[in-house]
Structure 1
Amino acid sequence: MTDSSGSSFAQNPPQSALEAALAETVELGLPASIADLSALVRIPSVSWAAFDPAHVEASADAVAELFRSTGVFEAVDVLRASTESGELGQPAVLATRPAKNGKPTVLLYAHHDVQPPGQDADWDSPPYEPTVRGDRLYGRGAADDKAGVVSHLASVRALAAVAGTDFDLGLVVFIEGEEEFGSRSFANFLETNRERLAADVIVVADSDNWNTETPSLTISLRGNVTFKLTVSTLAHASHSGMFGGAVPDAMLATIRLLSTFHDDNGSVAVDGLTSRPISAPEYTEETLRAEAGLLDGVQPIGTGSILSRLWAGPSITVTGIDAPTVANASNTLAPTVSVRVSARIAPGQAASDALAALEAHIRSHTPFGAQVEISDVDTGDPFLVDTSGWAVSAAKDAMRDAWGAEPVEAGVGGSIPFIADLVRVFPEAQILVTGVEDPHTRAHSPNESLHLGVFKRAIAAEALLLLRLNSRE
């Protein structure tokens, strides 16, 4: 059996007739999985406050109906929990079936909400119209993370097809509806539904793979600190000709302040933000250029190995700015400028400590006596996987057999803050961070896409893991 990339399961033959039947089931079910994914991509389920929540509700209902259709769950519900501020969070899907005969319970997590699309003009095809070009499916959420949703769905279908719907493995499916908006009701959702969510193994399908031919098991994630920074110097806008040269405008103060976040080679220069020593696979500057899209002549920033910078050190990015547009610019000194700051925190550092370090840096480096305000703060702790558990070995074996390639234990520069909540509420559970993305997925960006060969192999690996856990003594 081959897929669109030419890879073959025959590289590592299945170990039993049941596993061979499972691989064939995944292969034959791929068109239906792509169709299900395409239907979900057409729903613009952006969970941010400025977008219509009806779309997230429609997405949750569609996901719930897909899992009901498997016929293996005792209950499939669309549920909400409150946020820390008391508001009702976005709808999540929770499906459950108990384990039997001493078998383990596996929780399968993904999220059905998506990032905003950005500018339609930046997309080669409409963001909510799933489009296949070559071996990739394009669309917002095609990879992050509706492909994670459907990979869980397809693996459950494949397990039921070969083992029957009365299998012994316990299953919990938790499909969140606000991961892209900070998982603000996640902690309360866990507490409210603690008994139904309890599991021996938790599979978080929201990460990527080493490349389109090589699977990854994510073993570290950076944490995050994001906030709105507002810099003010004037009570009102003033004429730039009359007062420029003597009066500091907010744009000047903001630029000067932001420039202190990094040293001359681009390394983060905020005291108190830490790094962590790591060992990592080889990763060249040429690979970085190809995967990140660096323009000719633009040099990487920072020091140390590239992966140590991406996985185990801090980064600070200004992701948005509220200021007069070029088209509407007048000859005035801006009284106030606001920016969105996104900092990634190395594994091993608490997000609260990183926030304190950033606040202290801003207070001590604000120029000209400008007034600053830090608001709309979100934090998430980093995560390190304990790789000594049996579930890690089982997952890597399933990846190896399904992909025909040795899996890589990889770090990820991004953040999945809610994993810290999972560890807190379910400290005995083994957590596996997997995914259906690859370095060219462009998650969160225009022209987000899913490699269909990766999609099939990710489904095959998860289905194989579930099948083997169903027979685990």
Structure 2
Amino acid sequence: MSASSSRPDPSTPGASRRAAVRAAAEAAVPAALADLGNLVRIPSVAFPGFDRAEVERSATAVQALLADLGIFDRVEVTTAVIPETGAEGMPAVLASRAARNGRPTILLYAHHDVQPVGDESLWESAPFEPTVRDGRLYGRGAADDKAGVMAHVGALRALIEAVGTDFDLGVNLFIEGEEEAGSASFAAFLAENADALRADVIVVADSGNWDAATPALTVSLRGNARFTLTVRTLEHASHSGMFGGAVPDAMLATVKLLSTLWDDDGAVAVAGVHERDAETPEYTEQTLRDEAGLPDGVSPIGRGTILSRIWNKPSITITGIDAPSVRNASNTLSPEVSVVISMRVAPGQDAREAFAAIEEHLRARAPFGAQLSFSDIDCGNAFLVDTGGSAVAHARAALEEGYGVPPVDIGVGGSIPFIADLVREFPGAQILVTGVEDPHARAHSPNESLHLDTFRHALVSEALLLESLDSATAS
């Protein structure tokens, strides 16, 4: 990429400048995809038990991409200590460039760590070998969220190519290295680097779009309350033939207890867990079946509009269980069973309050006097965007120009708990949650993929947003 070292003639009309940024962004897509492929090849899983060196290698690769832009006052790989354990967090990449001449500062966020592969036999191509099929790039992290990293890099490359390197917009980047593993050191990192990250506008590139051709601005996110529940009924395992029918085993107690969390429709049946009353766009059951992989004959759960169930109501999912496997089954009464419970919390309710409600519910309903314990409790609050800010107007205009259709305001059923940390640390910043994914990206699942045209539109839109903010005056 060749970039002039200074801004073009200031007499250049604004429309021509914007057209130049758009053209540069379109031209920047192939290189951005090539660099994305290189990042996908790095298995940067930050979960315990995986090779930390790969996360470090990924951070170094991102650092090199940012340093190559030649616009930052600092670009470094850095870590923070996890307060609860004293352990070192995973490596993040931090870059900063001060604003000039009254322009605002934008903070661009994405993460370079990825989910584990899971059962590799379910992948149609190697998970860490980027593969293009039918207009999509397949690979772990291709969408979530290394594409977010490269949307930021590509958009900055386009701005530099069109207007030079001495633009006035302040730009900070924070590319996290442990988002998928829970962002354990995120709050500490923010506190330690607040001055370097402070911004008027924050763009979080870790969400999705309405569909592959229609952009979205995420205006609400559910919170989460995740914990491990252990149910114990026996001091030790016993023979199921000798004592079955008189002695309750832990699995029996666990099944009966968990069944109380939902009503017959599959809706959450926990007192004290709230819902949000808000309108949702039209979204059909057939669309749900197509996007979620719900086969005919299996009914959706819950009540109300489908999107209200996903965006504005709580949900409870059992995401893991420790119990004898089918292969290791024996005629034994299990003394103890542990499950991981993930509750999504409706916008407007504090996540700790929701956790207290589900804990009270479970303790009050423990069958047969089963002993319950709660551990690994992780709560993150929901998020609602103030859509009245000027940055939202800039973002909507850029998305419509970049995609060719107006954006849709959406809620997201998933959680991005660290946003609550951003709100706390930078209460005056306008936070924009965007993304490069479409509903068929299969993030966190086998055969994760990125729709190439969606990525192109997202990169162009972000470049146009940067151009708009570079032309604006900080409030």
**TM-score of the two chains, using structure 1 as the length reference:** 0.96
Displacement of 1:15 in angstroms is: 7.4
Q: Is 1:79 matched with 2:78?
A: yes
Q: Is 1:33 matched with 2:32?
A: yes
| Partner residue, 2:370 | 370
Q: Provide the secondary structure at the position in 2 that maps to 1:171.
A: strand
Q: Provide the secondary structure at the position in 1 that maps to 2:318.
A: strand
| Partner residue, 2:213 | 213
Q: Provide the secondary structure at the position in 2 that maps to 1:267.
A: coil
Retained in 1: the 8 A contact 2:231–2:372?
yes
| Partner residue, 1:67 | 66
| Partner residue, 2:175 | 175
Q: Counterparts of 1:133-282 in structure 2 under 5 Å? A: 133-282=133-282
Q: Counterparts of 1:388-407 in structure 2 under 5 Å? A: 388-407=388-407
| Partner residue, 1:56 | 55
Cα distance in 1 for partners of 2:315, 2:32 equals 37
Cα distance in 2 for partners of 1:101, 1:195 equals 19
Q: Provide the secondary structure at the position in 1 that maps to 2:180.
A: helix
| Partner residue, 2:303 | 303
Displacement of 1:354 in angstroms is: 0.6
Displacement of 1:17 in angstroms is: 2.0
Cα distance in 1 for partners of 2:410, 2:92 equals 29
Displacement of 1:336 in angstroms is: 0.9
- Residues 397-442 of structure 1: CA deviation (Å, up to 9, x unaligned): 0001111001001100000001111111101000000000011011
| Partner residue, 2:41 | 42
**Matched pairs, number:** 460
| Partner residue, 2:4 | none
Displacement of 1:369 in angstroms is: 0.7
Q: Counterparts of 1:266-415 in structure 2 under 5 Å? A: 266-415=266-415
- Residues 302-325 of structure 1: CA deviation (Å, up to 9, x unaligned): 001111100000000000111111
Cα distance in 2 for partners of 1:168, 1:22 equals 15
Residue 296 to residue 15, structure 1, CA distance change in 2 (3 Å): farther
- Residues 362-419 of structure 1: CA deviation (Å, up to 9, x unaligned): 1011111111111011110000000000000000000011110010011000000011
Residue 282 to residue 15, structure 1, CA distance change in 2 (3 Å): farther
Displacement of 1:23 in angstroms is: 2.0
| Partner residue, 1:4 | none
Q: Provide the secondary structure at the position in 2 that maps to 1:343.
A: strand
- Residues 34-60 of structure 1: CA deviation (Å, up to 9, x unaligned): 111111111111111121111111111
Cα distance in 2 for partners of 1:365, 1:133 equals 50
Displacement of 1:149 in angstroms is: 0.5
Cα distance in 2 for partners of 1:123, 1:247 equals 43
Give the gaps of 5 or more residues in structure 1: 1-13
Give the counterpart letter for 2:418 in structure 1.
F
Displacement of 1:21 in angstroms is: 2.0
Cα distance in 1 for partners of 2:403, 2:423 equals 29
Cα distance in 2 for partners of 1:263, 1:310 equals 17
- Residues 189-230 of structure 1: CA deviation (Å, up to 9, x unaligned): 111001111000000000000001100000000000001111
| Partner residue, 2:8 | none
Cα distance in 2 for partners of 1:372, 1:195 equals 44
| Partner residue, 1:98 | 98
- Residues 119-148 of structure 1: CA deviation (Å, up to 9, x unaligned): 101111111111110110011110000000
Q: Is 1:20 matched with 2:27?
A: no
Provide the aligned C-alpha RMSD in A. 1.0
Q: Provide the secondary structure at the position in 2 that maps to 1:64.
A: helix
Q: Counterparts of 1:106-125 in structure 2 under 5 Å? A: 106-125=106-125
Cα distance in 2 for partners of 1:222, 1:54 equals 33
Q: Which moved more, 1:20-29 or 1:105-114?
A: 20-29
Cα distance in 1 for partners of 2:80, 2:107 equals 19
- Residues 215-274 of structure 1: CA deviation (Å, up to 9, x unaligned): 000000000000111111111111111111111111111111111110011000011110
**TM-score of the two chains, using structure 2 as the length reference:** 0.96
Q: Which moved more, 1:459-468 or 1:21-30?
A: 21-30
Q: Provide the secondary structure at the position in 2 that maps to 1:440.
A: coil
Displacement of 1:84 in angstroms is: 2.2
| Partner residue, 1:6 | none
Cα distance in 1 for partners of 2:184, 2:96 equals 23
| Partner residue, 1:459 | 459
Give the counterpart letter for 2:18 in structure 1.
E
Give the gaps of 5 or more residues in structure 2: 1-12
Q: Which moved more, 1:378-387 or 1:83-92?
A: 83-92
Give the counterpart letter for 1:38 in structure 2.
G
Give the counterpart letter for 2:460 in structure 1.
A
Cα distance in 2 for partners of 1:333, 1:130 equals 47
Cα distance in 2 for partners of 1:444, 1:431 equals 24
Q: Is 1:471 matched with 2:465?
A: no
Q: Counterparts of 1:432-451 in structure 2 under 5 Å? A: 432-451=432-451
Cα distance in 2 for partners of 1:312, 1:263 equals 18
Retained in 1: the 8 A contact 2:229–2:374?
yes
Cα distance in 1 for partners of 2:182, 2:378 equals 7
Give the counterpart letter for 2:297 in structure 1.
G
Q: Counterparts of 1:124-135 in structure 2 under 5 Å? A: 124-135=124-135
- Residues 89-139 of structure 1: CA deviation (Å, up to 9, x unaligned): 111100001001110000000001111110101111111111110110011
Cα distance in 1 for partners of 2:242, 2:74 equals 70
Retained in 1: the 8 A contact 2:108–2:203?
yes
Q: Which moved more, 1:436-445 or 1:22-31?
A: 22-31
